[in-house]
Amino acid sequence: MTMQSTMQSILVDRPEIVRDVSRSTVIADVEKPLSAWERLYRVPLLRKGLILLVLAVIWEVYGRWLDNPLLFPPFSAMLQAFTTDLGNGIIPARTLVSLQTLVIGYAMGILLAALLTTVAIGSQIGTDLLETMTSMLNPLPAIALLPLALIWFGLGSGSVIFVLVHSVLWAIALNTHAGFRSVSNTLRMVGRNYGLNGLGLVRHILIPAAFPSILTGLKVGWAFAWRTLIAAELVFGVSSGSGGLGWYIFENRNQLETANVFAGLFTVILIGLIVENGVFATIERRTIRRWGMQH
Amino acid sequence: MNRTSPTVRSTIAGAPVDPVAAAVPASPLLEVSGVTLQYKTTDHLVTATYRVDFQVFKSDRYVLLGPSGCGKSTLLKAIGGYLEPVEGAIRLNGHEVTRPGPDRMMVFQEFDQLLPWKSVRENVLFALTTSGRAKGAEAAERTDHYINKVGLAKFAHSFPHTLSGGMKQRVAIARGMAMEPDVLLMDEPYAALDALTRRRMQDELLRLWDDTKFTVLFVTHSIEEAIRVGTRILLLSPHPGQVKAELNSIPPEQLGTAAQAELEARINDMLFVH
């Protein structure tokens, strides 16, 4: 009796509420289109373009203020040098030479990385092999191997491809292996439940499940490959009569054509942007974003 | 149903007649005899179950029930072929289980058991074609049939990450059933769902069973779920898991009556008292 009276003193006594939620009372705009500005802002290409534009303006202003085309030509001078050499076919030819070597080295790197990680996933000793090799060779700058490569493969593209493979292989192998290891045990068990094992399990379960990591490895590998290639061409110069972009940069520096040096660097940056925002972004959108593995 | 006891069967086993082929309805579908399971952690050898015996017959809804640490999930994994018993044997249709295979489809507790890079339909279809259970038009037909059955026809082309937990589990069940395995192994499939969804999924499982009378082995730690889902319940004691009892559940029409409360109390006493 006393208990009930104390409860009543604490709790506020009020009637129950039951409402009739009808359709007519729902507010008018459950869905409302975004404003034009908001929609434009949501396009990543436009946002990134804006950043590039601002950077170009800063470059131009600083270049003009410095007024020393030998040290730092303004953006417009670089653009002029770029369009001239683009028009007369020098930059396209040099780019083609560089890209050819790059693609061969990159493809070989991917192939070897795939082989190595497949071996690594199959057995403990394979894992140890990959881990030891990666920790040994990954920190080794590819360019440091170039003198050796020149002795082994001579003054051809063989040497450059060798250092390219070295720069690509470990980054991709490391990421792919980390990706394989992070695949949930449940997914592996599901795959084995279907009767998959060995290569079938790698192909149908591990590779797609580890795809976010693999893609990161491919991106890092691509960037490493570019860096190594340009550096190798700078050190190593021309091979069999036709040099690449690195050689183009080196050549123009010797002639103190600084605007052309910048045009060469600009080409490297441009290709990087295209590959990153064109190729890799498309792959990302069609795979891991679509699958909800990345947001 | 005429259930021949194992001792009788072992006497005919010496005769030239193949006991499996001869007595299909009477012989158990799945026979677990004297199974001891051990696994290693970084510094211990853990015995998960000790000499567990039980038999599952066709169309049983067989429940493995016990508190955590009784090795029921480990036992199910061993039946799935993921773990080899250190003692005893697991036989499916008279053949010893040695590795995972599509004749024993698992439904896991985890929501990430669907392949995220495949749509609902592709998930089921891929299971059928990869395992070789069905091909071409038959596989497609079976896929659509079972996706329909779990009520996900509208979501057939959705990717798993867009589905709710309950829907993901439904896809996993559709996938398991589409494979038409000898036995469906369910490892606490509803444990990660909210109470309302769990109840709905249990009823749905019973409805699906009414349709095709598939054999299911169901692991749970919930006494209520065991009674609701199972026809027969194996009680396991913890550390290591040993068979404490094998009970018959109550028919669905007695759910919610005193019979259910009585059985619940009885199981509770067996598992948690003394």
Give the Cα separation of B216 and B213 in Å (integer): 9
Is the Cβ of A65 closer than 8 Å to some Cβ of chain B? no
For residue A293, count other CB atoms closer than 10 A to its CB: 19
Residue B271's SS3 state is: helix
Residue of A nearest to B114 (CA): A187
**Pick from A184, A193, A291: which is nearest to B117 by CB?**
A291
Q: In whole angstroms, how far apart are CA B156 and each of A38, B138, B147, B168, B174?
A: 33, 17, 7, 12, 11
Burial of A156 (0-12, 13-18, 19+ CB in 10 A): exposed
- CB contacts of A195 in chain B (<8 Å) are 100-102, 130-132
Mean pLDDT of chain A: 86
Record the tokens describing residue A243, joined without a space: 């040099």
**Pick from A195, A208, A292: which is nearest to B161 by CB?**
A292
Record the tokens describing residue B210, joined without a space: 């009414």
B20 and B94 in contact (C-beta within 8 Å)?
yes
Model pLDDT, residue A179: 92
Helical residues (DSSP H) of B44-188, grouped into ranges: 72-80, 120-131, 136-149, 165-178
Q: Which residues, listed in sequence order, are joined to residue A151 by a DSSP beta bridge?
A: none
Residue of B nearest to A295 (CA): B161
**Pick from B99, B117, B131: which is nearest to A194 by CB?**
B131
Model pLDDT, residue B14: 41
**Pick from B82, B116, B131: which is nearest to A291 by CB?**
B116
Pick the CATH number of A92-289 from 3.30.1330.10, 3.30.565.10, 1.10.3720.10, 3.40.50.620: 1.10.3720.10
The answer to whether ipTM exceeds 0.85 is no
Q: Tokens 């985890």 appear where?
A: B110
- CB contacts of B99 in chain A (<8 Å) are 192
The backbone region for A154, taken as left when phi is positive above 0, alpha when psi lies in -120 to 50, beta otherwise, is left
- pLDDT of chain B along its 274 residues, tens only? 444 444 444 444 444 444 444 444 568 888 888 888 888 888 888 888 888 888 888 888 999 998 887 888 889 999 998 998 998 889 888 888 888 989 999 999 888 899 999 999 999 999 999 988 888 888 899 999 989 888 888 998 999 999 988 899 989 999 998 988 999 999 998 888 888 888 888 888 888 898 888 899 999 988 888 888 889 999 888 888 888 888 888 887 888 888 888 888 888 888 876 5
Contact B113 A204 (CB under 8 A): no
Closest CA to A277 of A42, A41, A39, A45: A45
- B interface with A, Cβ–Cβ < 8 A, is 80, 82, 99-102, 104-106, 108, 110, 112-113, 115-117, 126-127, 130-132, 159-162
Amino acid code (one letter) for B66: G
**Pick from B102, B113, B131: which is nearest to A186 by CB?**
B113
Amino acid code (one letter) for B122: E
* CA–CA min distance B246, chain A (Å): 28
Q: Identify the H or E element spanning B54.
A: strand B45-56
Q: In whole angstroms, how far apart are CA A60 and each of A69, A78, A255, A269, A270?
A: 12, 10, 23, 17, 18
Contact A189 B162 (CB under 8 A): no
More confident residue, A141 or B14: A141
Give the helix, strand, coil percentages of chain B, each rounded to 5.
40, 25, 35
Chain-centroid distance, C-alpha A283: 11
The full set of domain ranges for chain A reads 92-289
Burial of B236 (0-12, 13-18, 19+ CB in 10 A): buried
A219 and A284 in contact (C-beta within 8 Å)?
no
Contact B115 A287 (CB under 8 A): no
Closest CA to B185 of B103, B69, B121: B103
Give the Cα separation of A229 and A231 in Å (integer): 5
